[in-house]
Amino acid sequence: MAEQNNSGVSIERIENLSIVSLKVSSKSLESASNSLQLASPASTSKGDPRSLWFGPDRWLLVSDSKSADSMVEECEKSLADVLHNAVDYSAGLAVYRLTGTGARDLLAAGCGVDFRDEKFPVGNCCRTRFAQIAAIIVAEGPEQFDIYVDRSYAAYLDDWLRDSLSISDLAAAPGTG
C-alpha cells in the first residue's frame, strides 16, 4: 500500500517479486547477454523477466509473473555451455518504490548519485550506497524509482525514508526554515 506525504512522494513496499541473481563468467558475457537478452551497463531490459545490470558480470532478473525457479531453469538451459551462477534472491531482497515529484530529491538526499533527468533517465539503474546501505536503484519512470536492498535492512530503510520525508515536510511548511 502506497503512503503519500506533503512532499508529493509516495512510498510503497513491492511484494511478490521473483528475483534471481545472475553472475556470468567474464569470458562468456557476450554469449550470455545475447542468449538471455541481458541489460547493457547501467540499464535495465524490457520484457519478462527484466534484467537489471549492476556490475560488469552481474544482473538481477526480476519478474512479477514468473517464478524464481523457472527463471533459474531458463538460465541453466540458455547458459548450459557458459560458466554462470543463477540463485533465487526473492527472499533476500526487499523492494521499495518511490513515486512523485519529490522522489529524485529524496534519492539525492540519501546518496551521491546525480538523479537529474538528463543524468539518470528512465531505464537507468545503479548499484550504490543509499542511506549508508548497499542498494540498487532503478529509474522506472520519470517520477518512479525502485530501491532494492538486503531484506535485513528493510525496516531501517523504511524508517529512513519516512523520517527524511517528515523532515522535508517540516522544511516546506509555511512559516518554517
173 or 25: whose pLDDT is higher?
A: 25
Cα–Cα dist 137/122, whole Å = 11
CATH code assigned at 121 = 3.30.1360.120
Q: How many structural domains compose the chain?
A: 2
Cα–Cα dist 57/12, whole Å = 30
What pLDDT, on the 0 to 100 scale, is given for residue 1?
A: 47
Question: Which amino acid appears at position 91 of this protein?
Answer: A
8 or 84: whose pLDDT is higher?
A: 84
56 and 73 share one domain: yes
What pLDDT, on the 0 to 100 scale, is given for residue 42?
A: 96
What pLDDT, on the 0 to 100 scale, is given for residue 2?
A: 52
The answer to whether 53 and 29 are in contact (CB under 8 A) is no
Residue 73 has pLDDT above 60, yes or no: yes
The domain boundary residue, chosen from 68, 88, 108: 88
Please state the rounded mean pLDDT for residues 32-42.
Answer: 94
Residue 57 has pLDDT above 80, yes or no: yes
Residue 43 has pLDDT above 80, yes or no: yes
Please state the rounded mean pLDDT for residues 95-102.
Answer: 97
Angle between helix 29-36 and 68-78 (nearest 10): 130
Is the dihedral angle over the CA atoms 64, 75, 46, 145 positive or is it negative?
positive
Q: How confident is the prediction for the chain on average, in pLDDT?
A: 92
Residue 165 is placed in which grid cell? 520525508
State the residue range of the domain holding 9.
3-14+92-172
The domain boundary residue, chosen from 44, 60, 88: 88
pLDDT in tens, 108-140: 999 999 999 999 999 999 999 999 999 999 999
The domain boundary residue, chosen from 50, 73, 88: 88
What pLDDT, on the 0 to 100 scale, is given for residue 168?
A: 61
Cross-strand partners of 11: 3, 98
Residue 176 has pLDDT above 70, yes or no: no
- pTM for this entry: 0.90
What pLDDT, on the 0 to 100 scale, is given for residue 63?
A: 98
Is 177 a member of any domain?
no
Residue 44 has pLDDT above 80, yes or no: yes
pLDDT in tens, 151-168: 999 999 999 999 998 876
CATH code assigned at 26 = 3.30.70.1520
What pLDDT, on the 0 to 100 scale, is given for residue 167?
A: 76
Residue 169 has pLDDT above 90, yes or no: no
100 and 157 share one domain: yes
